[in-house]
Amino acid sequence: MKTLQRVLAIVGGAFLIGTVQAVVFGPVTLGPANLTAGTDKPKGNPDRPSADPIPENPDPPIDRPVATYTGKADPLLDAPVPEGSLTLREAKELWDAAAYFIDARHEHEFEAGHIQYAAFLESKLFDTDIARANAVMDSIPLDGTIVLYCVGGECDASKNTAALLEQYGYTDLRIMGAGYEHWVAAGFETATGSDGGTP
Amino acid sequence: MSGTKPGAKLWAESILLQLPLRVGLGGVFAFAAYNKIGSTQSFANAIKGFRIVDADKYGHLIVTAAYTMPWIEMIAGVLLVLGLWSRASAVAIQIMLVAFIVALIHVILDESISADCSCFGDMNLVCESSVGWCQVIRNSILLVPCSYLVWHQGGLLALDRVFRDKSGDNDPRWTVDRE
Protein backbone atom coordinates (compact mmCIF):
# COMPACT_ATOMS: atom_id res chain seq x y z
CA MET A 1 0.00 0.00 0.00
CA LYS A 2 2.83 2.32 0.91
CA THR A 3 4.47 1.57 -2.43
CA LEU A 4 1.34 2.65 -4.31
CA GLN A 5 1.19 5.88 -2.33
CA ARG A 6 4.81 6.58 -3.11
CA VAL A 7 4.35 5.88 -6.80
CA LEU A 8 1.44 8.32 -6.83
CA ALA A 9 3.61 10.85 -4.97
CA ILE A 10 6.30 10.52 -7.66
CA VAL A 11 3.74 11.01 -10.44
CA GLY A 12 2.13 13.93 -8.62
CA GLY A 13 5.47 15.57 -7.97
CA ALA A 14 6.43 15.15 -11.62
CA PHE A 15 3.14 16.69 -12.71
CA LEU A 16 3.66 19.70 -10.44
CA ILE A 17 7.23 20.28 -11.59
CA GLY A 18 6.17 19.87 -15.22
CA THR A 19 3.41 22.42 -14.71
CA VAL A 20 5.87 24.90 -13.23
CA GLN A 21 8.20 24.25 -16.16
CA ALA A 22 5.36 24.95 -18.61
CA VAL A 23 4.43 28.16 -16.80
CA VAL A 24 8.01 29.43 -16.54
CA PHE A 25 9.25 28.47 -20.00
CA GLY A 26 5.97 28.63 -21.91
CA PRO A 27 3.90 25.79 -23.27
CA VAL A 28 4.90 23.72 -26.27
CA THR A 29 2.94 23.74 -29.50
CA LEU A 30 2.08 20.63 -31.40
CA GLY A 31 2.37 22.21 -34.84
CA PRO A 32 -0.08 21.51 -37.62
CA ALA A 33 -2.35 18.77 -36.37
CA ASN A 34 -3.34 15.60 -38.14
CA LEU A 35 -1.05 16.00 -41.11
CA THR A 36 -1.47 13.53 -43.91
CA ALA A 37 1.46 12.63 -46.08
CA GLY A 38 1.20 14.33 -49.43
CA THR A 39 -1.42 16.86 -48.37
CA ASP A 40 -0.25 20.35 -49.13
CA LYS A 41 -1.72 22.45 -46.35
CA PRO A 42 -0.78 26.02 -45.55
CA LYS A 43 1.73 26.03 -42.72
CA GLY A 44 1.65 27.91 -39.47
CA ASN A 45 0.26 31.27 -38.49
CA PRO A 46 0.80 33.86 -41.26
CA ASP A 47 1.04 36.61 -38.64
CA ARG A 48 3.84 35.06 -36.68
CA PRO A 49 7.20 36.80 -36.75
CA SER A 50 9.75 35.33 -39.07
CA ALA A 51 13.39 34.99 -38.22
CA ASP A 52 16.18 34.80 -40.73
CA PRO A 53 14.34 32.98 -43.49
CA ILE A 54 16.57 31.12 -45.85
CA PRO A 55 16.64 32.23 -49.46
CA GLU A 56 14.09 30.45 -51.60
CA ASN A 57 15.60 28.02 -54.04
CA PRO A 58 15.24 29.90 -57.29
CA ASP A 59 13.01 28.60 -60.02
CA PRO A 60 14.42 28.17 -62.57
CA PRO A 61 17.58 27.18 -60.70
CA ILE A 62 20.38 29.65 -60.69
CA ASP A 63 23.46 28.90 -62.64
CA ARG A 64 25.04 26.36 -60.36
CA PRO A 65 28.12 24.57 -61.53
CA VAL A 66 27.12 21.05 -62.43
CA ALA A 67 29.43 18.20 -61.55
CA THR A 68 30.63 16.10 -64.40
CA TYR A 69 30.84 12.39 -63.86
CA THR A 70 32.82 9.88 -65.81
CA GLY A 71 30.44 6.99 -65.18
CA LYS A 72 33.07 5.10 -63.21
CA ALA A 73 32.56 4.35 -59.53
CA ASP A 74 34.40 6.89 -57.47
CA PRO A 75 35.71 5.90 -54.02
CA LEU A 76 34.45 9.15 -52.54
CA LEU A 77 31.32 9.91 -54.53
CA ASP A 78 30.09 6.32 -54.47
CA ALA A 79 31.38 5.35 -51.05
CA PRO A 80 29.01 2.95 -49.23
CA VAL A 81 26.41 4.70 -47.10
CA PRO A 82 23.78 3.38 -44.67
CA GLU A 83 20.85 1.71 -46.38
CA GLY A 84 18.21 4.15 -47.52
CA SER A 85 20.50 7.18 -47.52
CA LEU A 86 22.07 9.05 -50.40
CA THR A 87 25.59 8.63 -51.65
CA LEU A 88 27.60 11.77 -52.17
CA ARG A 89 27.00 11.48 -55.90
CA GLU A 90 23.24 11.22 -55.48
CA ALA A 91 23.23 14.15 -53.08
CA LYS A 92 25.24 16.27 -55.49
CA GLU A 93 22.85 15.44 -58.31
CA LEU A 94 19.96 16.63 -56.15
CA TRP A 95 21.90 19.77 -55.26
CA ASP A 96 22.41 20.41 -58.96
CA ALA A 97 18.67 19.96 -59.41
CA ALA A 98 18.08 22.72 -56.81
CA ALA A 99 16.77 20.48 -54.04
CA TYR A 100 16.53 22.05 -50.59
CA PHE A 101 19.47 21.21 -48.35
CA ILE A 102 19.28 21.29 -44.57
CA ASP A 103 22.25 21.26 -42.24
CA ALA A 104 21.32 19.38 -39.05
CA ARG A 105 24.65 19.87 -37.29
CA HIS A 106 25.36 22.31 -34.47
CA GLU A 107 25.13 25.99 -35.32
CA HIS A 108 28.82 26.67 -34.79
CA GLU A 109 29.61 23.91 -37.27
CA PHE A 110 27.15 25.40 -39.74
CA GLU A 111 28.71 28.82 -39.39
CA ALA A 112 32.18 27.40 -39.88
CA GLY A 113 31.13 25.92 -43.18
CA HIS A 114 28.15 24.34 -44.85
CA ILE A 115 26.89 23.19 -48.20
CA GLN A 116 26.06 26.21 -50.31
CA TYR A 117 22.37 27.22 -50.14
CA ALA A 118 21.80 24.89 -47.16
CA ALA A 119 19.66 26.10 -44.29
CA PHE A 120 20.52 25.53 -40.65
CA LEU A 121 17.87 23.46 -38.90
CA GLU A 122 19.17 21.54 -35.93
CA SER A 123 16.45 19.45 -34.28
CA LYS A 124 17.01 21.33 -31.03
CA LEU A 125 15.89 24.53 -32.79
CA PHE A 126 12.32 23.24 -32.52
CA ASP A 127 12.73 23.65 -28.74
CA THR A 128 14.99 26.63 -28.45
CA ASP A 129 13.74 28.88 -31.25
CA ILE A 130 10.56 27.61 -32.84
CA ALA A 131 10.08 30.92 -34.72
CA ARG A 132 13.36 30.38 -36.49
CA ALA A 133 12.49 26.78 -37.27
CA ASN A 134 9.13 27.93 -38.62
CA ALA A 135 10.87 30.52 -40.77
CA VAL A 136 13.01 27.84 -42.34
CA MET A 137 9.99 25.59 -42.87
CA ASP A 138 8.02 28.45 -44.41
CA SER A 139 10.71 28.70 -47.06
CA ILE A 140 10.22 25.14 -48.17
CA PRO A 141 7.05 23.73 -49.75
CA LEU A 142 5.68 20.59 -48.14
CA ASP A 143 6.31 18.55 -51.27
CA GLY A 144 9.78 19.96 -51.86
CA THR A 145 12.71 17.58 -52.05
CA ILE A 146 14.77 18.05 -48.90
CA VAL A 147 18.24 16.59 -48.39
CA LEU A 148 19.43 16.56 -44.78
CA TYR A 149 23.01 16.09 -43.77
CA CYS A 150 25.20 16.12 -40.70
CA VAL A 151 28.66 14.67 -40.15
CA GLY A 152 27.81 11.34 -41.76
CA GLY A 153 28.54 7.88 -40.43
CA GLU A 154 26.68 7.20 -37.20
CA CYS A 155 25.36 10.76 -37.00
CA ASP A 156 21.65 10.75 -36.22
CA ALA A 157 21.12 14.51 -36.28
CA SER A 158 19.76 14.38 -39.84
CA LYS A 159 17.32 11.65 -38.92
CA ASN A 160 16.10 13.53 -35.87
CA THR A 161 15.45 16.69 -37.88
CA ALA A 162 13.88 14.63 -40.67
CA ALA A 163 11.54 12.97 -38.15
CA LEU A 164 10.42 16.38 -36.93
CA LEU A 165 9.92 17.69 -40.46
CA GLU A 166 7.89 14.61 -41.28
CA GLN A 167 5.58 15.46 -38.43
CA TYR A 168 5.07 18.87 -40.02
CA GLY A 169 3.95 17.22 -43.25
CA TYR A 170 7.07 17.14 -45.38
CA THR A 171 6.97 14.12 -47.62
CA ASP A 172 10.19 13.99 -49.63
CA LEU A 173 12.92 13.79 -47.03
CA ARG A 174 16.27 12.28 -47.90
CA ILE A 175 19.29 11.68 -45.75
CA MET A 176 22.75 12.23 -47.16
CA GLY A 177 24.70 9.24 -45.91
CA ALA A 178 28.01 10.97 -46.47
CA GLY A 179 28.90 13.81 -44.14
CA TYR A 180 29.75 17.43 -44.72
CA GLU A 181 33.48 16.67 -44.66
CA HIS A 182 33.03 14.32 -47.60
CA TRP A 183 31.26 17.09 -49.49
CA VAL A 184 34.23 19.36 -48.80
CA ALA A 185 36.69 16.65 -49.72
CA ALA A 186 34.94 16.25 -53.07
CA GLY A 187 35.49 19.93 -53.74
CA PHE A 188 31.81 20.75 -54.00
CA GLU A 189 30.34 24.16 -53.27
CA THR A 190 30.33 25.44 -49.70
CA ALA A 191 29.59 28.67 -47.88
CA THR A 192 30.37 30.03 -44.43
CA GLY A 193 28.64 32.21 -41.87
CA SER A 194 25.07 32.32 -40.63
CA ASP A 195 23.58 33.83 -43.75
CA GLY A 196 21.58 30.74 -44.53
CA GLY A 197 23.95 29.71 -47.25
CA THR A 198 23.63 32.75 -49.49
CA PRO A 199 26.56 32.63 -51.86
CA MET B 1 15.37 -5.26 21.06
CA SER B 2 18.44 -5.07 18.94
CA GLY B 3 18.78 -5.46 15.18
CA THR B 4 20.52 -8.48 13.83
CA LYS B 5 23.42 -7.62 11.54
CA PRO B 6 22.92 -8.71 7.95
CA GLY B 7 24.97 -11.66 6.79
CA ALA B 8 27.79 -11.71 4.27
CA LYS B 9 25.44 -13.01 1.61
CA LEU B 10 23.20 -9.96 1.92
CA TRP B 11 26.18 -7.63 1.81
CA ALA B 12 27.49 -9.39 -1.28
CA GLU B 13 24.09 -9.16 -2.93
CA SER B 14 23.81 -5.49 -2.07
CA ILE B 15 27.27 -4.55 -3.29
CA LEU B 16 27.52 -6.76 -6.35
CA LEU B 17 23.93 -6.73 -7.55
CA GLN B 18 21.59 -4.19 -6.06
CA LEU B 19 23.91 -1.19 -5.98
CA PRO B 20 25.03 -1.49 -9.62
CA LEU B 21 21.50 -2.23 -10.77
CA ARG B 22 20.10 0.74 -8.88
CA VAL B 23 22.75 3.15 -10.07
CA GLY B 24 22.69 1.78 -13.61
CA LEU B 25 18.94 1.75 -14.08
CA GLY B 26 18.35 4.97 -12.19
CA GLY B 27 21.19 6.64 -14.03
CA VAL B 28 19.85 5.59 -17.42
CA PHE B 29 16.43 7.00 -16.62
CA ALA B 30 17.79 10.21 -15.11
CA PHE B 31 19.98 10.67 -18.20
CA ALA B 32 17.02 10.03 -20.50
CA ALA B 33 14.94 12.49 -18.53
CA TYR B 34 17.67 15.15 -18.63
CA ASN B 35 17.77 14.98 -22.42
CA LYS B 36 14.00 15.21 -22.69
CA ILE B 37 13.48 17.99 -20.17
CA GLY B 38 15.64 20.27 -22.28
CA SER B 39 13.79 19.31 -25.46
CA THR B 40 10.15 19.36 -24.48
CA GLN B 41 9.02 20.55 -27.90
CA SER B 42 10.78 17.66 -29.65
CA PHE B 43 9.43 15.21 -27.11
CA ALA B 44 5.87 16.51 -27.56
CA ASN B 45 6.24 16.13 -31.32
CA ALA B 46 7.59 12.63 -30.81
CA ILE B 47 4.64 11.63 -28.61
CA LYS B 48 2.30 13.07 -31.21
CA GLY B 49 4.12 11.07 -33.86
CA PHE B 50 3.27 7.86 -32.03
CA ARG B 51 -0.42 8.58 -32.75
CA ILE B 52 -1.55 6.96 -29.53
CA VAL B 53 -4.29 9.59 -29.27
CA ASP B 54 -5.85 11.96 -31.76
CA ALA B 55 -3.74 15.12 -31.57
CA ASP B 56 -6.70 17.25 -32.66
CA LYS B 57 -8.94 16.14 -29.81
CA TYR B 58 -6.44 15.25 -27.13
CA GLY B 59 -3.55 17.56 -27.79
CA HIS B 60 -3.67 18.69 -24.16
CA LEU B 61 -2.96 15.11 -23.06
CA ILE B 62 0.10 14.98 -25.32
CA VAL B 63 1.39 18.28 -23.93
CA THR B 64 0.73 17.11 -20.36
CA ALA B 65 2.58 13.86 -21.01
CA ALA B 66 5.47 15.74 -22.61
CA TYR B 67 5.91 17.80 -19.47
CA THR B 68 5.20 15.08 -16.90
CA MET B 69 6.85 11.91 -18.18
CA PRO B 70 10.44 13.19 -18.18
CA TRP B 71 10.03 14.39 -14.60
CA ILE B 72 8.66 11.00 -13.52
CA GLU B 73 11.77 9.48 -15.06
CA MET B 74 14.00 12.03 -13.39
CA ILE B 75 12.49 11.70 -9.91
CA ALA B 76 12.28 7.92 -10.06
CA GLY B 77 15.79 7.68 -11.50
CA VAL B 78 17.38 9.90 -8.87
CA LEU B 79 15.48 8.17 -6.05
CA LEU B 80 16.61 4.82 -7.36
CA VAL B 81 20.25 5.91 -7.51
CA LEU B 82 19.98 7.16 -3.93
CA GLY B 83 18.15 4.06 -2.84
CA LEU B 84 15.29 6.07 -1.42
CA TRP B 85 11.80 4.71 -2.01
CA SER B 86 13.57 2.06 -4.07
CA ARG B 87 10.58 -0.18 -4.56
CA ALA B 88 8.22 2.64 -5.49
CA SER B 89 10.79 4.12 -7.88
CA ALA B 90 11.35 0.75 -9.50
CA VAL B 91 7.58 0.25 -9.82
CA ALA B 92 7.21 3.69 -11.46
CA ILE B 93 9.99 2.85 -13.92
CA GLN B 94 8.50 -0.58 -14.51
CA ILE B 95 5.10 0.92 -15.37
CA MET B 96 6.73 3.38 -17.75
CA LEU B 97 8.77 0.67 -19.44
CA VAL B 98 5.66 -1.43 -20.01
CA ALA B 99 3.82 1.62 -21.37
CA PHE B 100 6.76 2.41 -23.67
CA ILE B 101 6.84 -1.17 -24.94
CA VAL B 102 3.12 -1.13 -25.70
CA ALA B 103 3.45 2.22 -27.50
CA LEU B 104 6.47 1.01 -29.49
CA ILE B 105 4.67 -2.15 -30.58
CA HIS B 106 1.68 -0.03 -31.59
CA VAL B 107 3.93 2.03 -33.87
CA ILE B 108 5.74 -1.01 -35.27
CA LEU B 109 2.54 -2.86 -36.12
CA ASP B 110 0.93 0.17 -37.76
CA GLU B 111 2.94 0.55 -40.93
CA SER B 112 1.45 3.94 -41.68
CA ILE B 113 3.25 5.42 -38.68
CA SER B 114 6.87 6.47 -38.98
CA ALA B 115 7.86 7.77 -35.57
CA ASP B 116 11.03 8.84 -33.85
CA CYS B 117 11.59 7.17 -30.48
CA SER B 118 13.00 10.21 -28.67
CA CYS B 119 13.64 7.80 -25.81
CA PHE B 120 16.78 9.75 -24.93
CA GLY B 121 15.87 13.07 -26.51
CA ASP B 122 18.11 13.75 -29.47
CA MET B 123 20.56 11.08 -28.39
CA ASN B 124 20.36 7.38 -29.05
CA LEU B 125 21.30 4.51 -26.76
CA VAL B 126 22.01 1.16 -28.43
CA CYS B 127 19.17 1.60 -30.94
CA GLU B 128 18.65 4.06 -33.77
CA SER B 129 16.22 6.95 -33.47
CA SER B 130 13.43 5.48 -35.59
CA VAL B 131 11.10 3.12 -33.76
CA GLY B 132 11.82 -0.59 -34.23
CA TRP B 133 12.05 -3.90 -32.43
CA CYS B 134 15.46 -2.87 -31.08
CA GLN B 135 13.78 -0.47 -28.64
CA VAL B 136 11.26 -3.11 -27.61
CA ILE B 137 14.07 -5.56 -26.86
CA ARG B 138 16.10 -2.90 -25.04
CA ASN B 139 13.16 -1.92 -22.85
CA SER B 140 12.31 -5.58 -22.20
CA ILE B 141 15.88 -6.15 -21.04
CA LEU B 142 15.63 -3.12 -18.75
CA LEU B 143 12.52 -4.67 -17.22
CA VAL B 144 14.61 -7.50 -15.79
CA PRO B 145 16.74 -5.46 -13.33
CA CYS B 146 13.71 -3.28 -12.66
CA SER B 147 11.63 -6.29 -11.62
CA TYR B 148 14.49 -7.54 -9.51
CA LEU B 149 14.62 -4.21 -7.64
CA VAL B 150 10.85 -4.26 -7.14
CA TRP B 151 11.26 -7.70 -5.64
CA HIS B 152 14.43 -7.21 -3.59
CA GLN B 153 14.52 -3.40 -3.22
CA GLY B 154 17.65 -1.31 -2.95
CA GLY B 155 19.83 -3.40 -0.67
CA LEU B 156 21.91 -2.57 2.36
CA LEU B 157 23.57 0.44 0.78
CA ALA B 158 20.30 2.15 -0.04
CA LEU B 159 19.10 5.17 1.89
CA ASP B 160 15.93 3.21 2.53
CA ARG B 161 17.87 1.35 5.18
CA VAL B 162 18.82 4.58 6.90
CA PHE B 163 15.28 5.94 6.80
CA ARG B 164 13.67 2.56 7.07
CA ASP B 165 10.13 2.55 8.22
CA LYS B 166 8.43 0.03 10.39
CA SER B 167 5.46 -0.37 8.11
CA GLY B 168 6.64 -3.69 6.80
CA ASP B 169 6.78 -2.29 3.30
CA ASN B 170 10.52 -2.82 3.12
CA ASP B 171 12.14 -6.17 2.60
CA PRO B 172 11.84 -7.98 5.94
CA ARG B 173 15.30 -9.47 5.58
CA TRP B 174 16.82 -6.03 6.18
CA THR B 175 14.29 -4.32 8.35
CA VAL B 176 13.06 -6.81 10.89
CA ASP B 177 14.44 -6.58 14.38
CA ARG B 178 15.13 -9.91 15.97
CA GLU B 179 15.85 -10.70 19.55
Q: B116: pLDDT confidence band, cut at 50, 70 and 90? A: confident
Of B42, B59, B76, the CB nearest to A33: B59
- Amino acid identity at A39: T
Helix axes of B86-109 and A2-25: crossing angle, nearest 10 degrees = 70
B46·A163 Cβ contact <8 A: yes
ipTM: 0.85
pLDDT above 50 for A199: no
- What residues of chain A lie within 8 A of the CB of B59, using their CB? 30, 33
- CB contacts, 8 Å: B130 with chain A: 159, 163
Say if residue A144 is exposed, middle or buried (CB neighbours under 10 Å; 0-12, 13-18, 19+).
Answer: middle
Mean pLDDT of B166-176: 51
Q: pLDDT digits over A101-155, tens only?
A: 999 988 888 988 999 999 999 887 887 788 888 889 988 998 899 999 988 765 6
Other beta carbons within 10 angstroms of residue B165's beta carbon come to 10
Asked if the Cβ–Cβ distance from A160 to B165 is below 8 Å, we say no
pLDDT per residue as tens digits for the range A36-93 = 333 333 333 344 344 444 444 544 455 555 555 555 677 778 887 777 888 899 999 9
Interface test with B, best of A1, A3, A150 (most B CBs within 10 A): A3
